[in-house]
Every structure is written in structure tokens, then in C-alpha cells.
Amino acid sequence: MASFNKVILMGNLTRDPDVRATGTSGMKVARLGIAVNERRRDRNGQVQEFPVFVDVDAWDKLAELCGQYLSKGRSILVEGRLQMDTWEKEGVRHQKLKVRATTIKFLPQGDRLMSPQVQHQQESHSPAMQNPLQGSSLEGDPDDIPF
């Protein structure tokens, strides 16, 4: 039987990443918590937000980058797969479903991540930036098409 295990989530970090080295290998792991809000109407027709809290593990270089650049409240997009952690504590077996990240995209937070050059280009109102097709004609002789 075929199976498919892929998760894509976008939300905000609920805490700063906790980066640690594992065992004797020293491989890094970053533990992240994200809140993904689901918006839906309640019985009275009011729009309500229902948060879903998800734990995410990032490994190796991705873990180091998360520890370096991410902090609580930051918006991220996570791609990965579901993973079940199982452990036993005081004779009781525990299980926890989490996401093992393969890709994490750091989403922009207003103007904070934009370089001055990009900010300047967005603030200027040059005609080329407003509409790159303005002044060009999409109609014409079909024989002028290069293919």
C-alpha cells in the first residue's frame, strides 16, 4: 500500500528555538513551537481564531540557522514530515506526534528584513516599478513573434 507523509505549515513561533547538541556525534537539533491559527465562524456567526500548537524539530545546519535567526513571534513556513516520538518514563509509555522539518522559510516581518536597497526601490514610484508592461503593446503583427 502506498503512503505519503508531507506537512506544510505556516504560523508564528511560540517560543525561542531551543538548540542543543545530541549525544556523542554533536549533531544539532532545534526544537521549535509554532501556532497555526484556524479562522472559522462560531454559532453566532462571529469569526473566531482557533490556534493549533505544533512542535517542530530541525536538524543539523537547519537547526543552527533557526537558532541564529529566529525568535518568539517570528512567522515561518515549515515543510517536513510527521514523526512519532515514543518514550517511557516511570513505567508509563508516552507518545507525541511532531513535525520533522526538511525546509523552514523565514517569512518577512514588515520592513525589518528588507535591505535598504529593496526598501528604496519599493518607496520610489518610478513608472518602471509601477507597471513594467505599461507602454508596451501586446497586440501586433503575429509575424513579429520570435517563435
Neighbours of 83 (CB within 10 A): 15
- For the stretch 96-116, pLDDT in tens is 999 999 999 999 876 454 433
The rounded distance, in Å, linking the Cα atoms of 122 and 124 is 6
Residue 120 pLDDT > 70: no
Residue range 7-109, CATH number: 2.40.50.140
- For the stretch 131-143, pLDDT in tens is 444 444 444 555 5
- For the stretch 23-79, pLDDT in tens is 888 899 999 999 999 999 989 999 999 999 999 999 999 999 999 999 999 999 999
The closest of 70, 77, 69 to 11, measured between CA atoms, is 77
Write out the H or E segment, with its range, that includes residue 54.
Answer: strand 47-59
User: Which residue matches cell numbers 535591505?
Assistant: 115
Residue 2 pLDDT > 70: yes
Looking at residue 116, its pLDDT comes to 38
Please tell me whether residue 26 adopts helix, strand or coil conformation: coil
What are the sequence ranges of the domains in the chain? 7-109
82 in Cβ contact with 95 (< 8 Å): no
Looking at residue 127, its pLDDT comes to 40
Query: Phi/psi of residue 109, each to 5°?
Result: -115, 85
Looking at residue 94, its pLDDT comes to 95
